[in-house]
């Protein structure tokens, strides 16, 4: 009996190290992985504005967002599909998501519209919506596949310009739709909450990159580069920081809920405070750090409704420079209207061909730009007539308003 017990003890002693070794070598649980995709890039600029291209805006915000998550979540694996100006196909982006076993896929994009009045942010999840506007957005974003050789084979006969191709999204069932909607809703709540961006809501559309990504996925349209004022906001450092912070805060809410559901949350993370003043209620801001245009460039569109502090009169040192706007030429406390024809990164001589023979223009300085205007009337309807007359030479011209030499929103001038 004693011998038998001794043998059993020796056997246990011999196997214990093996159990300990197996326990020590047990694989660590897979980290939560988020993939951030900066839309477009390289030969594909995306939507093109007056002062910036979509691909740059998407990349800047993606890099900011990735850094914010890394700083607060050292246990989260943050991956970017691109970190510089390179072209990636839609399928390559989806393959990257699936190869890395992503738990959340965030596509960053910038919107555009034929209407210059379109404004605001919206977040898409996979699906099909009867609204033509949603389909148009999906078609525009999917059209990048046309830049690829043999795209018909790569995308299994999918034609981004054919409505019939989008029927597949109506027939399919997305197993990630609930969690995608959860994150998309959090994003829009951040945009429309403290930031007070114009809320275009959560929408569904047939995006190929979302269709082929096996995880909860959203595509965020940050705003309209085709809107003169919103482009300035999107291109500014302050605007990009606001947007990145909003998406980060949405991630915090999503991750807190995810951890709570999986029983892994030690302490819920807090939302990040916005470091810059909230944008105006109409979703347009005019930050002081407006992006500079290339040297000697002409910008045909700048915001017509800037804040009262964004424009200051400037006097040029050039002997043949155009007349600078002066407060003395305006009746005190009564707004006047002018037509802005373009903006430049430098002061231009009156003989410059950019004016197309137009004489008597004035300029005011706004950050890194000189905004050139023509005419001066006190009646808004007269200003609209002048604008219409100038559109044959300057198609992008628009009406601006001044009060005591300082530019103010046109809507405020009309109230006065």
CATH number for the domain harbouring residue 140: 3.40.630.40
Domain membership flag for residue 182: yes
Q: How confident is the model at residue 309 (pLDDT cuts 50, 70, 90)?
A: very low
Instruction: Calculate mean pLDDT across residues 338-353.
Output: 82
Segment of 110-119, 205-214, 337-346 carrying the highest mean pLDDT: 110-119
For residue range 249-271, list pLDDT tens digits in order: 999 999 998 888 887 766 778 88
Are residues 175 and 54 part of one domain?
A: yes
**Torsion over CA of 308, 309, 315 and 317, rounded to 10 degrees?**
-140
Q: What is the pLDDT of residue 68?
A: 96
Domain membership flag for residue 277: no
Which has the minimum average pLDDT: 12-21, 196-205, 239-248? 12-21
Read off the tokens for 192.
């429309």
Please check the confidence at residue 53 and state whether its pLDDT lies above 60.
yes
Instruction: Calculate mean pLDDT across residues 279-304.
Output: 41
For residues 323 and 350, the answer to whether their CB atoms sit within 8 Å is no
Are residues 232 and 113 part of one domain?
A: yes
Q: How confident is the model at residue 305 (pLDDT cuts 50, 70, 90)?
A: very low
Please check the confidence at residue 300 and state whether its pLDDT lies above 70.
no
Q: Which of 213, 242, 262 finishes a domain?
A: 262
For residues 302 and 230, the answer to whether their CB atoms sit within 8 Å is no
The crossing angle, in degrees rounded to 10, of helices 237-262 and 177-192 is: 140
Are residues 144 and 226 part of one domain?
A: yes
- Distance (Å, whole) CA 320 – CA 43: 41
**DSSP conformation class of 329:** G
Q: What percent of the chain has pLDDT over 90?
A: 31
Domain membership flag for residue 18: no
In angstroms, what CA-CA distances link 213 with 43, 90, 101, 185? 23, 10, 10, 19
- Distance (Å, whole) CA 95 – CA 209: 9
Mean pLDDT of the chain: 76
- Distance (Å, whole) CA 269 – CA 106: 20
Q: Which H/E stretch holds residue 205?
A: strand 199-205
Are residues 256 and 320 part of one domain?
A: no
Q: How confident is the model at residue 111 (pLDDT cuts 50, 70, 90)?
A: very high
Q: What is the pTM of this model?
A: 0.57
Residues 6+ apart with CB under 8 A from 380: 337, 399, 410, 413, 414
Q: How confident is the model at residue 156 (pLDDT cuts 50, 70, 90)?
A: low
Which has the minimum average pLDDT: 298-312, 329-343, 374-388, 399-413? 298-312
- Distance (Å, whole) CA 371 – CA 303: 10
Are residues 330 and 253 part of one domain?
A: no
Q: How confident is the model at residue 273 (pLDDT cuts 50, 70, 90)?
A: confident
Q: What is the pLDDT of residue 401?
A: 87
Number of domains in the chain: 2
* Residue 298, beta-bridge partner list: 344
Are residues 326 and 242 part of one domain?
A: no
Domain membership flag for residue 12: no
SS3 state at 410: helix
Please check the confidence at residue 203 and state whether its pLDDT lies above 80.
yes
Are residues 194 and 111 part of one domain?
A: yes
Q: How confident is the model at residue 61 (pLDDT cuts 50, 70, 90)?
A: very high
Given strand 33-38, what is the order of strands in its sheet? 77-80, 33-38, 104-111, 217-224, 121-126, 199-205
Around Cβ 69, how many Cβ atoms within 10 Å?
22
For residues 102 and 79, the answer to whether their CB atoms sit within 8 Å is yes
The beta strands (E) that lie in 209-367 are given as 217-224, 298-299, 323-324, 336-344, 362-366
- Domain ranges, residue 238: 33-262
Helix ranges, 157-303 (H): 167-171, 177-192, 208-211, 228-235, 237-262
Q: What is the pLDDT of residue 281?
A: 39
Are residues 129 and 247 part of one domain?
A: yes
Left if phi > 0, otherwise alpha if psi is -120 to 50, otherwise beta: which for 203? beta
Are residues 202 and 111 part of one domain?
A: yes
Domain membership flag for residue 22: no
SS3 state at 73: coil
Are residues 164 and 313 part of one domain?
A: no
Q: What is the pLDDT of residue 291?
A: 36
99-102 long-range Cβ contacts below 8 angstroms, 24+ apart: 100/33, 100/35, 101/30, 101/33, 102/33, 102/34, 102/35, 102/213, 102/215
Please check the confidence at residue 200 and state whether its pLDDT lies above 70.
yes
Q: How confident is the model at residue 311 (pLDDT cuts 50, 70, 90)?
A: very low
Residues 6+ apart with CB under 8 A from 313: 324, 325, 326, 327, 364, 365, 405
For residues 65 and 244, the answer to whether their CB atoms sit within 8 Å is yes
For residue range 4-15, list pLDDT tens digits in order: 656 556 566 555
User: Which has the higher per-residue pLDDT, 231 or 140?
Assistant: 231
**DSSP conformation class of 6:** H
Q: Which of 208, 239, 262 finishes a domain?
A: 262
Q: What is the pLDDT of residue 26?
A: 57
């Amino acid at each position: 009996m004693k011998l038998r017990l001794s043998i059993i003890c020796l056997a246990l002693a011999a196997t214990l190290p093996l159990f300990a070794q197996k326990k020590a070598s047990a694989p660590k649980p897979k980290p939560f992985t988020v993939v951030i995709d900066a839309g477009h890039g390289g030969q594909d600029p995306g939507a093109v504005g007056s002062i910036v291209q979509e691909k740059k805006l998407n990349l800047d915000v993606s890099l900011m967002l990735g850094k914010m998550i890394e700083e607060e979540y050292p246990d989260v694996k943050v991956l970017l599909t691109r970190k510089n100006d390179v072209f990636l196909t839609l399928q390559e982006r989806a393959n990257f998501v699936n190869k890395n076993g992503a738990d959340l896929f965030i596509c960053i994009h910038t919107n555009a519209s034929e209407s210059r009045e379109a404004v605001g942010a919206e977040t898409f999840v996979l699906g099909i919506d009867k609204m033509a506007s949603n389909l148009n957005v999906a078609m525009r974003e999917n059209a990048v596949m046309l830049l690829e050789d043999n795209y018909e084979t790569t995308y299994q006969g999918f034609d981004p310009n054919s409505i019939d191709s989008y029927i597949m999204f109506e027939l399919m069932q997305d197993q990630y739709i609930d969690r995608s909607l959860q994150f998309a809703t959090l994003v829009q709540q951040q945009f429309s909450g403290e930031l007070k961006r114009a809320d275009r809501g959560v929408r569904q559309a047939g995006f190929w990159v979302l269709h082929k990504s096996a995880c909860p996925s959203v595509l965020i349209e940050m705003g309209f580069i085709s809107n003169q004022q919103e482009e300035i906001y999107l291109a500014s450092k302050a605007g990009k920081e606001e947007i990145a912070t909003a998406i980060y805060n949405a991630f915090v809410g999503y991750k807190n809920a995810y951890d709570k559901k999986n029983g892994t949350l030690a302490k819920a993370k807090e939302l990040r405070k916005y470091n810059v003043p909230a944008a105006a209620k109409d979703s347009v801001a005019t930050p002081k750090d407006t992006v500079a245009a290339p040297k000697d460039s002409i910008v045909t569109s700048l915001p017509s409704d800037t804040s009262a502090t964004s424009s200051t009169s400037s006097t040029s040192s050039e002997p043949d420079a155009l007349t600078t706007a002066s407060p003395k030429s305006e009746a005190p406390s009564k707004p006047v209207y002018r037509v802005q024809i373009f903006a430049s990164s430098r002061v231009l001589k009156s003989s410059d061909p950019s004016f197309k023979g137009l004489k008597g223009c004035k300029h005011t300085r706004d950050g890194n730009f000189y905004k050139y205007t023509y005419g001066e009337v006190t009646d808004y309807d007269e200003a609209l007539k002048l604008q219409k007359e100038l559109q044959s030479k300057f198609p992008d011209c628009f009406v601006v308003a001044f009060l005591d030499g300082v530019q103010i929103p046109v809507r405020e001038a009309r109230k006065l």
